[in-house]
Amino acid sequence: RAAEVMRMAVTTSFHNSGLADVLLPQIAEDLDLEVQLLVVGTGQAIRLGEAGDVDAILVHSRSAEEAFVAGGYGTHRREIMYNDFVVIGPAADPAGLREAADATGALRAIAEAEAPFVSRGDDSGTHKKELSLWSDAGVAAEGDWYNAVGAGMGAALNTASGLGAYILADRASWLNFANKGDLDLVFAGDPVLFNQYAYLPVNPERHPHTRHALALTLEDWLTSDTAQVLIDGYTIGGETLFTFNADQGAGQ
């Protein structure tokens, strides 16, 4: 048992990647700190932070994060790493996404073919990304083929697997997902699909009971070289998942 305990709310996509299982034991060893993860939706993570029920949050939804800091709920926002979104679909690829030039093209192909598509539909970072891609593509995301499931990444993937549908997912969740069925990765690589994770300690002025010092210690560790090695070195099936991009000079 570690001497200190703190709580951090993270999104399902981060947790599903399995990276936490690599980072947390090292944190416990280096800092003698047990980080308790609350794995929830992005919106819920932010609400937990606002209520002071956790000491820090790690999410990927830039506008919501900035509003969080602007509202005085968090002290600051620190970017840690990014991964990327990928489009998953039936291996047969009926809409022909594999030929698409960029992300918007891929989505347009789905809409034109009216191939079944599963949307998270839960205002998560992934969902917001998907919506912005649809609007970039100039396609109205509606119709029988468009299924807004209102669920976490894993549940949405399960649904897509059951329906044989396309879905936008983060690479980490996809690689860790076991119920692939006949789904396959059909599109990836467009820089617009990069997915930035940021760390936000909860503001101790608003919630004096929060363990702010521990949150800052953890931030230092997450932006340290140790973390960089672990994050960049984390692979599944030979694929790198995350790219460490913390500005190591920006620490407090």
Partner 1 sequence: MGDLWEGLTRAVWLVLTLDPDLMEISARSLQVTLTALVIATAIALPLAALLSVRRFRWRRAVIAVLNALMGLPPVVVGLIVYVILSRSGPLGVLGLLFTPTAMVIAQVVIIVPLIASIAHQSLRELWQEYHDLLISMNVTQWQKISTLLWDGRRALLTASLAGFGRAIGEVGAIMIVGGNIDNATRVLTTAIALETGRGDFALALALGFVLIGLAVGINLAIHWLGRTEREGRW
For partner 1, the binding residues in 70-99 under the rule CB under 8 A are none
Helix axes 125-137, 103-113, angle to 10 degrees: 80
Kindly state the smallest distance separating residue 43's Cβ from partner 1, in Å: 3
Q: With binding defined as CB under 8 A, does residue 155 bind partner 1?
A: yes
Query: What are the b/e assignments for 178-203, b being 16+ CB within 10 Å?
Result: eeeeebebbbeebeebebbbbbbbbb
Q: With binding defined as CB under 8 A, does residue 196 bind partner 1?
A: no
Tokens of 28: 């416990």
Q: Are strands 4-11 and 56-59 parallel, antiparallel or unpaired?
A: parallel
Q: With binding defined as CB under 8 A, does residue 164 bind partner 1?
A: yes
Identify which of residues 163 and 216 has a Cβ nearer to partner 1 in the complex: 163
Question: Whole-angstrom Cα distance, residue 50 to residue 68?
Answer: 8
Q: With binding defined as CB under 8 A, does residue 52 bind partner 1?
A: yes
Q: With binding defined as CB under 8 A, does residue 36 bind partner 1?
A: yes
Q: With binding defined as CB under 8 A, does residue 4 bind partner 1?
A: no
Q: Are strands 117-119 and 146-148 parallel, antiparallel or unpaired?
A: parallel
Selected from 4, 23, 26, 44, the binder of partner 1 by CB under 8 A is: 44
Contact footprint for partner 1 (CB under 8 A): 7, 12, 16, 34, 36-47, 50-53, 121-124, 147-155, 157-159, 161-164, 176-181, 207, 209
